[in-house]
Structure 1
Amino acid sequence: MSSTKPLPAALKRWAEQRIGPVVSVRDASHDWDRSRVWDLEGERGVHHYLKVSPSVKFFTRESRAYRHIVPALGHTRAPHLIDSRAQDLALLLTAVPGAPAKELGLDAAQWRTVHQQAGALCARLHEAGELDRGDRAEAEASLSAAADGAEKYLARVGDRLDHDEQQLVREHAARLRRVGPVPVGYVHGDNQPRNWLWSTSGLALVDFERARPAARVQDFVILATTQWADHPDREQAFLRSYGRELSDAERHALRCLSALDAVNCLAWGPDNGDAEVTARGRRTLDRLLKEARP
């Protein structure tokens, strides 16, 4: 576990200017060194969150998402931005009810309900407003951009992959460039149960630092390689409320993106001591290799 991260005094003063006195502060960061999030409790027991983004890129994406995209999800379905402080990459957010779905020990029926609500929220997010010219160009280039990352990931993973595994990743990167047109929109970018808060009020989405214009299918990669791999009923529940099945081109892109996600996991996971991410990458790559063999 990482050590508790203290909230800088200047940021506490900034928050109190906007939400009033803070009586307690709890470190709510993820267990990795660049995550910095604090739960601020006010005098009347009202909670807010203060987040310091790990980079300018993530701060820009997340602050823009909260201003222009997230409101489409509806009240209580995501935090709302109270204010941002660019010089510190800081965001002050309302709290939403619930706990991460992955931590709740849900049964099969509850998981289907969670995925059903997640599909509806993703549909709202993906259709949140018209893409302007710049966003559309970025979105339409997103699959090629993902393919461009293959060699970077392979260089990082080094000899953790054998020749056949490296070749499989390169083949899927090449195929991704030939997928053709797929639906585009605004994506969450880290769409998975750790960012789905579940409560009696329903589901809420959090953590929009990777939100961006992209091929919509990119929001399904982590789900396809984890939740849906062994539970097709969850995928069916999600897509029913999402409003449509994936096209053949999207299914092909999803397979290619899964290979790139696998090599990224096998580079990032061991380097950061994340056994869960490492296992996700290993399992996905093993599955793709098995399917590729006659």
Structure 2
Amino acid sequence: MHQGITEDQSRLLTSWLGEFSVVQDYSWPLQDTNVLHVATLPGEEFIVKASTTSHHIHREIAAHAGGFAGLHGRVPALRHASAKAGMLVMEFLPGVLVEGTMAEDDPETYRQAGELLARIHRPAGDSSTYAPALTAKTRAWMDRADGLLPESQLDSFEQELDALRPGVARLVATHGDYQPRNWLQDNGQIKVIDFGRAEPRPWVHDLVRLSHQQFVHRPELADAFREGLGKTVGRAELDVWRLENLNQAIGTVVWANQVGDTAFEQAGREMVERVLSGL
């Protein structure tokens, strides 16, 4: 079996699928999850995710357990899963990753992606603890950013956090990493993959990455996305929107530095500057 998948996982996978072959390995070296495209003798194709340490497997299983009503063919269908074994099997979703293709610059891609996100965002209740917990996580990132960011920026972060009053957060089922690297384009139709960071959060969480990447200097893409999503950040969400931006900006710097991803760390530094400048 593939290196990184345990013997127990291999036996379980065989019990689920029977005889199969690996078509392609999509595993990312900076993550501790094996991601394999496999094919079975009856001609079916699947994506297998397996890990003995990653919490992303458990999040993805939970996301699928919540259901994706009306989205068959637009998100992967879960076929088998074992949280105990740290493994899941999803039906293979045909398409080409949007990132790095012409579709990444096409407003129609973002209109469809916004429309899909609106359907993924199932209500998940209100929380009085979400914002305080995220504030605490942001302060923890700040402690780890000492020496990575100028003291002036860390001081500004502290002032920003002190000024926020996000209150009770209205949660939805978020994707957690909503951007073109997790979208597929299949004959003009956009699909969504990888729910390994899914979790109940405010809906604005899923807009942060796009706002600091594809939407920078591309208002037409942002407008198309908002058209599909059917809403934009309003006055009621401003403080939690600010908090999400602060958290993801400084978290990107620290995490990327930790794993040695220089390009991503620089992107995090640019996020910090953009957030603190009020853009």
TM-score, L = length of structure 2: 0.89
Match of 1:74 among 60, 71, 75: 71
Aligned length: 278
Closer, same or farther: CA 244–290 of 1 in aligned 2, 3 Å: closer
Report the identity percentage.
Answer: 24
1:184–1:216 CA contact under 8 A, matched in 2: yes
Closer, same or farther: CA 107–242 of 1 in aligned 2, 3 Å: closer
- Is structure 2 residue 261 aligned with structure 1 residue 274? yes
Offset from partner CA, 1:27-58 (integer Å, 9 cap, x none): 21123141321111122443211112464643
Separation in 2 of the partners of 1:290 and 1:251? Answer: 15
Match of 1:114 among 109, 112, 116: 109
Give the structure 1 partner of residue 247 of structure 2. Answer: 260
Offset from partner CA, 1:209-249 (integer Å, 9 cap, x none): 22121111111111111111221211111111111222123
2:49–2:57 CA contact under 8 A, matched in 1: no
Give the structure 1 partner of residue 204 of structure 2. Answer: 217
Closer, same or farther: CA 107–8 of 1 in aligned 2, 3 Å: closer
Gaps of 5+ in 2: none
1:36–1:53 CA contact under 8 A, matched in 2: yes
Closer, same or farther: CA 8–73 of 1 in aligned 2, 3 Å: farther
Closer, same or farther: CA 280–249 of 1 in aligned 2, 3 Å: farther
AA aligned opposite 2:173:
Y
TM-aligned CA deviation for residue 106 of structure 1: 3.3
1:140–1:214 CA contact under 8 A, matched in 2: no
Closer, same or farther: CA 113–94 of 1 in aligned 2, 3 Å: same
Match of 2:217 among 230, 252, 266: 230
- Is structure 2 residue 93 aligned with structure 1 residue 96? yes
TM-aligned CA deviation for residue 101 of structure 1: 1.2
Offset from partner CA, 1:233-275 (integer Å, 9 cap, x none): 1111111111122212324432332222111111111221223
Gaps of 5+ in 1: none
TM-aligned CA deviation for residue 201 of structure 1: 5.6
Closer, same or farther: CA 57–175 of 1 in aligned 2, 3 Å: farther
Separation in 1 of the partners of 2:5 and 2:51? Answer: 13
Greater CA drift, 30-39 or 213-222: 30-39
TM-aligned CA deviation for residue 87 of structure 1: 2.7
Separation in 1 of the partners of 2:253 and 2:114? Answer: 28
Separation in 2 of the partners of 1:106 and 1:214? Answer: 28
Separation in 1 of the partners of 2:5 and 2:38? Answer: 10
Query: What is the aligned-residue RMSD (CA, Å)?
Result: 2.4
Match of 2:132 among 136, 141, 144: 144
Is the helix fraction higher in 1 or 2?
Answer: 1
Greater CA drift, 48-57 or 140-149: 48-57
